[in-house]
Amino acid sequence: MAARGGFSSKIGFIAAAAGSAVGLGNIWKFPYEAGENGGAAFLFVYLACMLVIGFPIMVGEIAIGRAAQKDPYGSYRQLGNRKWGIVGLFGILSGVMILSFYNVVAGWAFGYFYQIIFGNLLEVENFGSYFGAYVSDVSDNMIYSFVFMIFTAIVVIQGVQKGIEKASQILMPILLILLATLIIYSLTLPGALQGAKFYLIPNFSDISLRTIYTAMGQSFFSLSLGMGALITYGSYISKKENIISSAITVTLVDGLVAFMAGLLIFPLVFSQGQAPSAGPGLVFVALPGIFQEMGPIMGRLIGGGFFLLLCFAALTSTISLLEVPVAFIVDEKNWPRKKVVFGLAFLIFLIGIPSMLSVGAVDGLTNFMYYEGSNKSFLDLIEDIFSNIGLPLGGFMLSLFVAFKWKTKRLSEEIAQGNPGYEGSFIQKLVNFSITVICPIILGTIFLITMLTKFLGLDLAFV
Ligand code: TRP
């Protein structure tokens, strides 16, 4: 164990896992997906997915990592066999690909921070066209996302304790306070109430198949599940710690931040007369408006502060994404950590370049087709394969692994260390039932349906 890092305390692990969970997924992705999929109806399905599927899978991942004390590939191999190792490998690959586009979006947030504080972003008239022009400007984005990747690499080199824990513990509370303040402000704007209604009062007939698989994918993405990030973090905690209470805290914090982000964005969007279904630009278009109204000085301060915090939230997530392939190579090959970190960071930056070019800069990548009539960007394609499909698939495989190979008995034994009352508890029943019954059935079905609808364009409206 000596060569591997470890978290210094329970709170250190929770901070790092919550830091991994809370990120662009909560503040950028969740609101625009909710906006495209019926608002409150989406929120409802999303919260249900987190509780019934996300939480048990999170417990499973942490327990697997702590039992095996290895990276995801090594863990599946050790507790299972060589073939199961493939599941770990696919997870690591998904992490690499997710980081490649995540870093591009983090670069946008970083650029917005810079342009609000030092540039003239708050003086523009139309934030929609500003955003469009902004993301297709490759030279700037290249720099911002490169710098962002370097920050990520620097923290990862510090190792889990000094870098990851500390940053999360300080920044998370500040983010919550700023969000709460902005929500109060946005709810007082004219027309805001309609936005709150759209977000809070569900119309259950809005729940379509697409709502369900999007919400499911989003719950995995937001909780950092399905690719082994929490197997890796779990491998750094001690047997004294209580996996259940840690997982509950992380799930609650993550859900809360996503909920708050929606409560901030939709009143704003409606009060500015914008459409909630604007897609990935939603946050970047809606938010600057409120900062602009605050006047040049307050706007810069609060707006700059907000995007800076968003960058930090993204950073504690990119750290966890980079840590996974790093742990894999260091564990399996024993190469020096520092070289592995920089090598991988640079490689992943390069892999992200086509995604960066696919939001307006290069037409062939921007208007990409899966099938006749679909219109997606290359970034959408990577996100679909490795995040929207890959993560629930990883969760599906994990549930099969626990149900048929590792067995719930060993899962329970692992969790009971550090949680003596676990055996026989209600939570144990929930976790076991979910992992052995609900997850295989629901995740398996949704996987099939998603493949059919997304890539073949089949109309499954009858289901
Ligand atoms: N959960 C993060 C977010 O919401 C993104 C993220 C970090 C992630 N690590 C991950 C997603 C691992 C999937 C797997 O922004």
Instruction: Give the mean model confidence (pLDDT) for residues 57-67.
Output: 98
Instruction: Give the mean model confidence (pLDDT) for residues 289-316.
Output: 91
The minimum-distance atom of ligand 1 relative to the CA of 21 is 1
The minimum-distance atom of ligand 1 relative to the CA of 30 is 4
Where do we find the tokens 């591009």? 104
Burial of 309 (0-12, 13-18, 19+ CB in 10 A): buried
Where residue 309 falls (left for φ over 0; alpha for ψ -120 to 50; beta otherwise) is: alpha
More confident residue, 290 or 407: 407
* 218 CB near ligand 1 (under 6 Å): no
The minimum-distance atom of ligand 1 relative to the CA of 220 is 13
CA quadruple 368, 369, 370, 373: dihedral sign: positive
The pTM assigned to this predicted structure is: 0.94
* 114 CB near ligand 1 (under 6 Å): no
Give 278 Cα–ligand 1 centroid separation in angstroms: 22
| Structure tokens, 45 | 């399905």
The minimum-distance atom of ligand 1 relative to the CA of 313 is 15
* 227 CB near ligand 1 (under 6 Å): yes
The minimum-distance atom of ligand 1 relative to the CA of 314 is 15
| The pLDDT of residue 158 is above 90 | no
- Lowest mean pLDDT, pick from 39-53, 284-298, 359-373, 438-452: 359-373
Residue nearest to atom 8 of ligand 1 (CA): 224
**Gyration radius of the chain's alpha carbons:** 21
| Structure tokens, 26 | 């909560």
* pLDDT at site 461: 46
Give 151 Cα–ligand 1 centroid separation in angstroms: 17
| The pLDDT of residue 194 is above 60 | yes
Q: Which of 250, 315, 320 to mutate to test the pocket of ligand 1 (most atoms within 8 A of CB)?
A: 320
* pLDDT at site 163: 64
Q: Which of 30, 32, 92, 317 to mutate to test the pocket of ligand 1 (most atoms within 8 A of CB)?
A: 317
Q: What is the 3-state secondary structure (H, E, C) of the chain?
A: CCCCCCCCCHHHHHHHHHHHHCCHHHHHHHHHHHHHCCCHHHHHHHHHHHHHHHHHHHHHHHHHHHHHCCCHHHHHHHHCCHHHHHHHHHHHHHHHHHHHHHHHHHHHHHHHHHHHHCCCHHHCCCHHHHHHHHHCCHHHHHHHHHHHHHHHHHHHHHCHHHHHHHHHHHHHHHHHHHHHHHHHHHHCCCCHHHHHHHHHCCCHHHCCHHHHHHHHHHHHHHCCCCCCHHHHHHCCCCCCCCHHHHHHHHHHHHHHHHHHHHHHHHHHHHHCCCCCCCHHHHHHHHHHHHHHHCCHHHHHHHHHHHHHHHHHHHHHHHHHHHHHHHHHHHHHHCCCHHHHHHHHHHHHHHHHHHHHHCCCCCHHHHCECCCCCCCECHHHHHHHHHHHHHHHHHHHHHHHHHHHHHCHHHHHHHHHCCCCCCCCCHHHHHHHHHHHHHHHHHHHHHHHHHHHHHHHCCCCCCC
Give 193 Cα–ligand 1 centroid separation in angstroms: 31
| The pLDDT of residue 2 is above 60 | no
* 94 CB near ligand 1 (under 6 Å): no
The minimum-distance atom of ligand 1 relative to the CA of 20 is 7
Instruction: Give the mean model confidence (pLDDT) for residues 78-105.
Output: 97
More confident residue, 364 or 58: 58
More confident residue, 373 or 131: 131
Give 95 Cα–ligand 1 centroid separation in angstroms: 9
Q: Are 157 and 341 in contact (CB under 8 A)?
A: yes
